[in-house]
Chain A
Amino acid sequence: MTTLIAILLDGAIYASWLFLVAAGLTIIYGVMRVLNMAHGSFYAIGAYAAAATVGWFFSGEHGNPYLSYLLLVGCALLAGVILGVVIEQGLLRFLMGRDEILMVIVTYALLLILEDATKLIWGVDPYFAYQPYRLLGISDIGDILRFANYDLALIAVAVFIGLAAWFVLNRTNKGRLLRAVIHDREIAIAMGVNVNAMFAATFVIGAVLGALAGALTAPAISVTPGIGVEVIVLAFAVVVVGGLGSIGGAAAGAVLVGLSRSFAVHIAPEIELFVIYGVMFLVLAFRPQGLFGQTLARRI
């Protein structure tokens, strides 16, 4: 029983984290058809910005410790907006409409550049921002299991972001326009939608989500070089399992991968290494478009 509760809670926490990491990636792909390898760098830079700022905040008397949560989110916003605007306006704008694979390679080059840029700014020493993680205390579940409330709060954050994205896409005018672009870019242009502005906004939102995922993870980890590269392929897997470009798909993919991994860790830790790719392989073998992907009409 304890194990079952642990599996479900661990799965839910991990799934929320996966969703946070994958959401920005899937939005950018859905609208712009750019599979953004640099998403990992957004994550890393968000984490560094947050850890450095929160570390400074707690190094002296800088006010109510609960303000640190605002700092986390603020850093993510700032880092995401700067990165998003600079990269979209400075580079991607000139490359839109190029081959999808070429764009993967362009963002891969970006990843290489940002990886060293991160090192240039923050060095290689680890950064810690553990205070926000501890501040919320722990919850006892049964007599031996304890969970950090911060992790449980992460579930709420992920649900909130998922709902917000759904609301914006389905209940606002801008969101409807965005869906029109996702559905058929050419018709949307013909109908007078300013696609370039849509792209710019989407990329910034995606970058902010990536940075936010990093910033919210920072308190639980030691922020070191290389953390960005590790999340890319994970985010890819989640997004592909769910169906590329679909927020609902990313959520479903995250839950599926999160729960499978949690099961593996508790029941058969030996196979943990394979779980994510195994799930991805099985889902694609039976549903080539992913769980929520649309089947495209064949070209004639």
Chain B
Amino acid sequence: MKSIPHFPSQTFRLAASAAAITLITGMSASAVAADNGKYRIGIVTFLSGAAAGPFGVPASNAAKLTIDTLNSGKMLAPYTKIGINGLEIETVLLDEAGGATKQAEEFRNLVQRQKVDAVIGYISSGDCLAIAPAAEELGVPTLFFDCGTSKVFETVKNPKYLFRTGLDAVVDNVAAARYVAETRPNIKTVASIQQNYAWGQDSWADFSLSLKQLLPNVSVVSEQWPKLLQGQYGAEISALSVSRPDIIHSSFWGGDMEALMLQGGARGLFDKSVAVLTAGETGVETFKSNVPNGTVIGGRGPYGAFAPKNALNDWFRPAFTAEFKADPTYPAYKMVQAILALKAAAEKTAKPGVMPTSDQVVKGLAGLSFEAPSGTVKMARTNGHQAVQDVSFGEYRFDPKTGKGSVANVKTYAADCVMPPDGSTPADWIKAGFPGAKCK
């Protein structure tokens, strides 16, 4: 080896570069928005990856439409005040892709660097679990608009800043079981195909337990667990066909669900078996004639194709369709709902025209009852931090004349019928035979 000249400055350079990195990152980052008198909302939703198309982008579009309308002061009553409490709303949009650790980091950046006044977001349950303690720690009003895990309020027992303005996935699957039991009481066999991850596992557990309570004689003939985003379901469709089930329950969403329906439909899987799709609503517009009439679909609440008729919905649906050339699906409805919840809460407790504080917002939001395109939403569970709404299921109908899909035979279940009471875990509640459930 050649002899190496000695560099006395080596130590200095190392230390200096370390210091330089710290300085540069610190300085480049200090260029945060100044206090400009606007109400800043961080919106976090999937802008890339498989969940962007069916969920993330419709939700961010809905956010844009709603916030633009609020800022122009043209929103319907009772939301006619400009922006939030008379202050213009400023949006900071972030991509939810990349996993829970990264989201935990970006959540802190959002609050501490971007100085947002509130955060609305999160579709992935894993992200919600990771964000929940950070939201309480940083003391910023945080509204989960979509994620379905029932464990959010198990993680944070006595939430102050954390809210969920949509329903969890337990409700969907209990309602789906009730719908099946009421409309098809004579079925003997059920099969399942779920994406092999927490959402699919929880959905099937809740559905199969509920169905066992409601129709004890039904037997499970096949359980398929393809990988999330697999896209190719040839072997699974064969296995399901061979098992000859009366109904096939699936919590598939987005592209996977559409692919399953295309491939299964072409191979006649649904000629003898009825599919029950708990997240099927996002496909109503795209299914066309590829999905048989009578396929049971849910929309995770009274959203999208299941939304009721009211003034706000009469504004939202046409306005969304006009601006984005597509019908609003359930994630879009859930986003509007979250933004309106925040606005209603702030205006309930803050002095008009004054910047609402975090504490005013969370005080206003706890136990709030507010109007949304999906009807009246009550923040009635977990000390007023979890929204309560009805859930609807129905059957897909395609009209070849207009080329449009819709839902028929809709049944709506009151929250008290399908939602476990505070303090009991979903599985125990279902196994005990839904104690305290009030159904029509």
Contact = CB atoms under 8 A, between A and B. Distances in A.
A, B in one complex: yes
Interface of A: 2-3, 6-7, 9-11, 13-14, 17, 115-116, 119, 124-126, 128, 130, 133-134, 138, 144-148, 150-151, 217, 220-227, 230, 261-262, 265-266, 269-270, 272-273
Interface centre among A14, A221, A227 (most CB of B within 10 A): A221
Interface string B141-161: 000000000000000000000
Contact of B242 (A3, A126, A130, A224): A3
Contact of B232 (A7, A14, A147): A14
Contacts of A10: 234-235, 238
30 contacts: A6-B238, A10-B234, A10-B235, A14-B232, A14-B235, A17-B232, A124-B48, A126-B254, A126-B286, A133-B262, A138-B266, A138-B267, A144-B244, A145-B238, A147-B238, A151-B234, A220-B263, A221-B255, A222-B254, A222-B262, A224-B50, A225-B49, A226-B48, A226-B50, A230-B230, A265-B224, A265-B226, A265-B235, A266-B242, A269-B236
B205 interface: no
Interface in B46-103: 47-50, 52-54, 56-57
| SS of A interface (majority) | helix
Contacts, number: 137
Contact of B258 (A148, A222, A230): A222
Contacts of B48: 115-116, 119, 124, 225-226
Given A17-B232, A126-B255, A126-B286, A273 B266 contact: no
A287 B149 CA distance: 44
A115 to B, nearest CB: 7
Contacts of A220: 232, 259, 262-263
Given A125-B326, A272-B226, A266 B231 contact: no
B290 A226 contact: no
Contacts of B47: 124
Contact of B268 (A9, A146, A272): A146
Interface string B285-320: 010001000000000000000000000000000000
A185 B254 CA distance: 46
Contact of B227 (A9, A144, A273): A273
B229 A230 contact: yes
Given A128-B286, A220-B259, A265 B267 contact: no
Contacts of A115: 48
A299 B196 CA distance: 45
Contacts of A262: 235
Nearest to B254: A224
A225 B225 contact: no
Nearest to B223: A269
Given A14-B232, A138-B266, A225-B52, A9 B57 contact: no
B289 to A, nearest CB: 10
Contacts of B236: 265, 269
B239 interface: yes
A130 B290 contact: yes
B349 interface: no
Nearest to B196: A273
A151 B262 CA distance: 13
Nearest to B55: A124
Nearest to A154: B234
Residue from A119, A126, A265, A266 having most chain B Cβ neighbours under 10 A:
A265
A108 to B, nearest CB: 15
A226 B236 CA distance: 22
B219 interface: no
Contacts of B196: 272-273
Contacts of B290: 130
Contact of A266 (B56, B238, B258, B268): B238
Contacts of B244: 144
Contact of A225 (B50, B223, B234, B268): B50
Contacts of B227: 272-273
B241 interface: yes
B239 A6 contact: yes
B53 A6 contact: no
Contacts of B49: 225-226
B229 A265 contact: no
A197 B56 CA distance: 44
B285 to A, nearest CB: 10
The 9 closest A-B pairs by CB, nearest first: A222-B258, A224-B255, A10-B235, A226-B50, A265-B235, A6-B238, A222-B255, A124-B53, A221-B259
Nearest to B272: A144
A7 B236 CA distance: 10
A147 B264 CA distance: 10
A125 to B, nearest CB: 6
Contacts of B258: 126, 128, 221-222
A46 B114 CA distance: 39
A116 B224 CA distance: 32
Nearest to B224: A269
A148 B266 CA distance: 7
A126 B53 contact: yes
A125 B241 CA distance: 30
Contacts of A224: 50, 52-54, 254-255
B231 A221 contact: yes
Nearest to A128: B286
